[in-house]
Amino acid sequence: MDKKIGFIGCGNMAKAMINGMLGSNLVDRENIIVSAKSSETLERIKKELGVLTTLENKKIAREVDILILAVKPYLYEDVLREIKEDIKEEVIVVSIGAGISLDFLKKNLKDGSKFIKTMPNTPALVGEGMSAITLGENLLEQEIEDVLDIFKSFGKVEIIDEKLMDGFTAICGSSPAYIFMLIEAMADAGVREGIPRQMAYNMSAQAVLGSAKMVLERDEHPGRLKDNVCSPGGTTIEAVISLEKGGFRASIMQAVRECAIKSKSMKK
């Protein structure tokens, strides 16, 4: 892709996306420019990723074709006020902010602007992201394709209705945290059983990866796949019963609901 891509804000999520984009050779480093609040962050990014950096958000707004807003949601308004007049008409503005609505983007950009709401997740870092996109206004087919290419370069992407975004945030944007907690808990439990810690992390993570791959690659219900692991009178069913007693599934469903409620409450 020969587009120039800018990130305003370069924290955990932007870094994951940039790593993913570079890892898939979608863009050259010289075609990515990022800003941050502090020069310390930018020096680190330059060293780690080799992309262009600037402390000036306006410079990014002026120079890029695709502008990705990657600051915390509460800063969107200030940042957009700062750069609004510098964004050229043909620039595609991409939000990754939780709770940032299409309405908000429309209100805070010039009339006729091109904008998109998205929600990525941090596994983009290793090319296994799961992102969702809600199309905004004034976009040409090719421009939508360009944005989809960016998100495809670090994983999978679905175009969804805006009303599904809170649920998506809860089961994909935020869920890597729950999965890391699962891996950590399984590893701790493995350590309790005598398995060396690092080995336990590797084993737990591989078990999660393999299980996820089975769901994605075999057209079988996850419940059946679970049943296939439970030998009659065997070890697994004991763990399954214990998980049910502990409210494992209800706990996950409740966590997802809390996350979606929070996402809704953050809506701007």
Ligand X SMILES: NC(=O)C1=CN([C@@H]2O[C@H](COP(=O)(O)OP(=O)(O)OC[C@H]3O[C@@H](n4cnc5c(N)ncnc54)[C@H](OP(=O)(O)O)[C@@H]3O)[C@@H](O)[C@H]2O)C=CC1
Ligand Y SMILES: O=C(O)[C@@H]1CCC=N1
Residue 134, interface with ligand Y (CB under 6 A)?
A: no
What does the chain come to in residues?
268
Residue number with CB closer to ligand Y (113 or 174) = 174
CB of 41 to ligand X, least distance (A): 3
Residue 98, interface with ligand Y (CB under 6 A)?
A: yes
Residue 100, interface with ligand Y (CB under 6 A)?
A: no
Residue number with CB closer to ligand X (136 or 200) = 136
Whether 110 has a binding-site annotation, put simply, is: no
Residue 5 site contact among ligand Y, ligand X, none (CB < 5 to 8 Å, cut-off depends on kind) = none
State the residues that interact with ligand X by CB under 6 A. 8-14, 35-38, 41, 57, 70-73, 75, 79, 96-98, 119-122, 173
Residue 52, interface with ligand Y (CB under 6 A)?
A: no
Give me the 171-190 binding string for ligand Y, x by CB under 6 A, dash otherwise: --xx----------------
Residue number with CB closer to ligand X (92 or 200) = 92
CB of 72 to ligand Y, least distance (A): 8
Residue 129, interface with ligand Y (CB under 6 A)?
A: no
Residue 96 site contact among ligand Y, ligand X, none (CB < 5 to 8 Å, cut-off depends on kind) = ligand X
Residue number with CB closer to ligand Y (95 or 169) = 169
Residue number with CB closer to ligand Y (73 or 136) = 73
DSSP string, 33-88: EEE-S-HHHHHHHHHHH--EEES-HHHHHHH-SEEEE-S-GGGHHHHHHHHGGGS-
Whether 13 has a binding-site annotation, put simply, is: yes
CB of 183 to ligand Y, least distance (A): 17
Distances (CA, A) of 131 to 117, 158, 179: 11, 7, 17
Write out the binding residues for NADPH.
57
Write out the residues near ligand Y by the rule CB under 6 A: 98, 169, 173-174
